[in-house]
Structure 1
Amino acid sequence: MADDNPFPGENNTGHVWDGNLRELRNPPPRWWMLGLWASILFVAGYGILYPFWPTLDGYSKGLLGWTQIEEYQRGVARVEAVRAPFEDRIHGLTAAEILTDPELAQYTVASSKVLFGDNCSACHGSGGQGNPGYPILADDYWQYGGTPAKLVETITGGRQGSMPAHIDLLSAAEIDQLAGFVTALKSGEPGADDAWALFRAKGCVACHGQEADGAVARLPNGEIITVGAPSFRNGIWRFAPGGVDSARYTISYGVNQAGQPKTREAVMPNFGTGGRLGEQEIKKLAVYVHELGGGL
């Protein structure tokens, strides 16, 4: 910084760097000053009209008496007024009956997206694609059945799978043979005769069905009776990543087995009996999930 001002007569502060860099005393542009004062007046006016200034016991309420909560409540009331006729119609119908009315089904699916996101997407994914370790809802395979009535039953009471740990019941060779058998079936292969014999001899058919498709029985009307045991007749694996090693692990340590620290966990909480969701919400969720990929 120079001690002497090399630019006499210039409106500067006298601070000069590197010979010619100096600080001037020019006033800001008029438009800038007008904007500054206008913004100050706006803030002051806003603080008078709306909640703004902190006080010893809270904040100033403003001359207009406006609050964000009241604005939100008015918005909710407008939405509920539009929904009310549809909600009233849903109230007296079952999930299956809702699906027979295209207009009502469309409304139910549209209005249940947030309901699904709040209660189901953490495990099943935002689009029902299933997060790792949780069932997919967007395909056509359902362990406990995908009819509207079954979906209501599942959401209401929850589900808890159960499979015994066979680590102490079967030999290592038998576990390996069954794991290979399951993998072969899921790959579309018919399965070896000796593996089928072992599958039936060890009682696997009691849960997985005589045909290893998860069907314990089939009713004359086409409905399938199942205890929730997976089918081995498709390429869908309940526990990722699937394959021989995954099958061997499940056979060895089972599912939800008390006292077995390595057991698989497969529990869906109940949303109805626990009071988390009401009957209306459960029906709507059942319709939403059914439209993702429900069926028999």
Structure 2
Amino acid sequence: MAHNNPWPDEGNTGHIWDEDIRELDNPPPLWWMLSFYAGFVMIVFYALYYPTIPWENSWFKGYAGWTQIEEYDEEVQVLQNWRKKRFAEQEEQLAALPVSEILKNEELKTYAVKTSKVLFGDYCAACHGAGGQGNPDFPVLADDDWLWGGKPAQIEASITNGRIGNMPARGMMGNLTDKEIDQVADYVIALSEGKGNEPAYAAGKAVYAKGMCLACHGPAGKPLAPTGATNFTDGVWRFGGDKADVIRTITYGVNVKKNGEPIKGTRLAVMPAFKDRLPDPEVNIKRLTVYVYSLGGGQ
């Protein structure tokens, strides 16, 4: 940068490089200045036209009456109207056909599964996981192991009316001692490992009969019908298969109440009925039934 300005009357700033490259101090073009001032005018316009200015407990709504939420709702409505028109035939079929017939129609079944994912995420995933993998203390829907039955009609009944688990504390008569609970816990764990007939678990097997565990879980640890009771022979546990988990379940039962309130330590196993929770339940219960059935492999 030159120390001397060879062009003192040119109107430059005195910053000169490479002998003749200099910075001038000319005013901006008129069109640029007009645009600059027009920007300030537009700021005032937007501040008055759209909601911008905060008040003490509210805000200035703007003379246009526009909100992002209203625009979003309008766009969603446009999309919903398009979907309703585009998939009207499939929706009519879902409403008209029973689940058994929907499953026989591969194209309709695929449609039901694809349109169930958001519904499942909104209403089911909190307990059963996004992909039916289950969350702690909630059933897995993707393992072919069903507490209340995995046939389409049984799944539909579970979603429609809900399910409430039931297991008395300390055996059917409520009289098992701590020692007996420890013994029967060892026995049911042995059943899950295929060791139930070994002599080491004979005492627990006797307690299993005394406590009337076989009434729900079956004489050999496998329920004779899907009534919500755990199958001890498949290694799948509703509330965990560690001995401490098993002892707690036997000791305090499932959904055991006193004076209308759950007792401390009892397992809570309640699935609400969705017939009054889902939008358009007649169709969406079928839709979810098909989706859950597909997750469990149809067993």
TM range (shorter): 0.7 to 0.9
Q: Is the 1:146–1:294 Cα contact (8 Å) retained in structure 2?
A: no
Residue-by-residue CA offset, 1:150-204 (whole Å, 9 max, x unaligned): 0110001111101111085111221011111111122233343523333123211
Residue 236 in structure 1 maps to residue 236 in structure 2: yes
> Residue 199 of structure 1: which of 208, 229, 247 is its match?
208
Give the corresponding residue for 1:52.
Answer: 50
Q: Distance in 1 between matches of 2:99 and 2:110?
A: 13
Alpha-carbon offset, residue 11 of structure 1: 3.4
> Do the aligned partners of residues 197 and 74 (structure 1) sit closer, same or farther apart at CA in structure 2, a change above 3 Å counting?
same
TM-score, structure 1 normalization: 0.77
> Do the aligned partners of residues 148 and 61 (structure 1) sit closer, same or farther apart at CA in structure 2, a change above 3 Å counting?
same
Percent pairwise identity: 38
Q: Distance in 2 between matches of 1:172 and 1:283?
A: 46
Residue 283 in structure 1 maps to residue 265 in structure 2: no
Q: Which runs of 5+ in 2 are unaligned?
A: 15-22, 54-58
Q: CA RMSD in A?
A: 3.6
Residue 100 in structure 1 maps to residue 109 in structure 2: no
Q: Distance in 2 between matches of 1:81 and 1:268?
A: 34
Q: Distance in 2 between matches of 1:127 and 1:38?
A: 57
Alpha-carbon offset, residue 285 of structure 1: 0.4
Give the corresponding residue for 1:19.
Answer: none
Give the corresponding residue for 1:124.
Answer: 128
Matches within 5 A, 1:122-201: 122-166=126-170, 169-192=175-198, 194=202, 195-201=204-210
Question: Which range moves more in the overlay, 68-77 or 53-62?
Answer: 53-62
Q: Which runs of 5+ in 1 are unaligned?
A: 1-5, 13-23, 216-224
Q: Is the 1:186–1:232 Cα contact (8 Å) retained in structure 2?
A: yes
> Do the aligned partners of residues 163 and 62 (structure 1) sit closer, same or farther apart at CA in structure 2, a change above 3 Å counting?
closer
Q: Is the 2:188–2:196 Cα contact (8 Å) retained in structure 1?
A: no
Give the corresponding residue for 1:268.
Answer: 271
Alpha-carbon offset, residue 287 of structure 1: 0.4
Q: Distance in 2 between matches of 1:39 and 1:106?
A: 56
Residue 249 in structure 1 maps to residue 255 in structure 2: no
The DSSP-based 3-state class of the residue aligned with 1:189 is coil
> Do the aligned partners of residues 37 and 228 (structure 1) sit closer, same or farther apart at CA in structure 2, a change above 3 Å counting?
same
Alpha-carbon offset, residue 27 of structure 1: 8.2
TM-score, structure 2 normalization: 0.76
> Do the aligned partners of residues 235 and 43 (structure 1) sit closer, same or farther apart at CA in structure 2, a change above 3 Å counting?
farther
* Equivalent residue letter for 2:246: A
Give the corresponding residue for 2:226.
Answer: 226
> Do the aligned partners of residues 171 and 75 (structure 1) sit closer, same or farther apart at CA in structure 2, a change above 3 Å counting?
same
Residue-by-residue CA offset, 1:221-250 (whole Å, 9 max, x unaligned): xxxx2221010011211113x211111110
> Do the aligned partners of residues 37 and 192 (structure 1) sit closer, same or farther apart at CA in structure 2, a change above 3 Å counting?
farther
Alpha-carbon offset, residue 47 of structure 1: 5.1
Name the count of aligned residue pairs: 262
Q: Distance in 1 between matches of 2:27 and 2:139?
A: 65
Question: Which range moves more in the overlay, 190-199 or 99-108?
Answer: 190-199
Give the corresponding residue for 1:218.
Answer: none
Q: Distance in 2 between matches of 1:290 and 1:206?
A: 28
Alpha-carbon offset, residue 275 of structure 1: 4.6
Alpha-carbon offset, residue 122 of structure 1: 0.6
Alpha-carbon offset, residue 38 of structure 1: 11
Q: Distance in 2 between matches of 1:78 and 1:141?
A: 39
Q: Distance in 2 between matches of 1:43 and 1:145?
A: 66
> Do the aligned partners of residues 11 and 265 (structure 1) sit closer, same or farther apart at CA in structure 2, a change above 3 Å counting?
same
